[in-house]
Amino acid sequence: AKVITYATVGLTTTTIIVSYILAVALGHEKAWLPMISDCAVTAPEKYIFRYGMLVSAALLGANALIVHSATKSSYSGAKVTLVTGLTASFGLGLLTAVNEQEDNPIHSTGAVVFFLCYEIFMMIISANAAADERVSRLSLNVKRVAALTSLIALVSLAGMGILLSMMSFNDHYSLCMHIVRL
């Protein structure tokens, strides 16, 4: 599970960084504060993004299966972690396969499903890990930071969506520039 987790994190991070650098370098995206998904709209970066993130989604699902098989008898919430982990994997695949310009409701649904389900998955794993003396404090702290980061992303995503729907801004960049000017 550790190798798949590291592979997932490494591939996801590399995919996002390479796609962002390409999008900015080619003038397809502004350098300041793009949504990650905005780096997956124009070729060639969208091909790298889609491939890397779809493989990451598959690895995420494999990780959920491995965690479940390894912990189903020792942790509470094992079935919930399996369902939320696999559902998060599906959400990541969906938001990756359909960018926001192709079909924003489908893309956004995938994003919310991914962030919400993965947040639940990480919270259960972290809570169970905290009760297991075999888990190192470093590992537990990494899990806590990942869960908190995901929660911040989920709240930010939801808040941005609500603000965009309530205001006359047609994209997140315009909204962020407005907030900065305040």
Consecutive 10-residue averages of pLDDT for the chain (182 residues): 86 94 91 78 93 96 90 76 95 92 85 88 82 78 80 75 60 53 53
pLDDT of residue 94: 94
The model's pTM: 0.79
Omega prior to 105 cis, within 30 of 0: no
pLDDT of residue 36: 82
pLDDT of residue 125: 81
Longest Cα–Cα distance of the chain, Å, equals 54
Distance CA 107, CA 100 (A): 5
Long-range (24+ apart) CB contacts under 8 A made by 32-36 are 32/173, 33/172, 33/173, 33/176, 34/173, 35/100, 35/172
Angle at 56 between CA 54 and CA 62, to 5 degrees: 110
pLDDT of residue 52: 96
- Grouping H, G, I as helix, E, B as strand and the rest as coil, residue 31 is coil
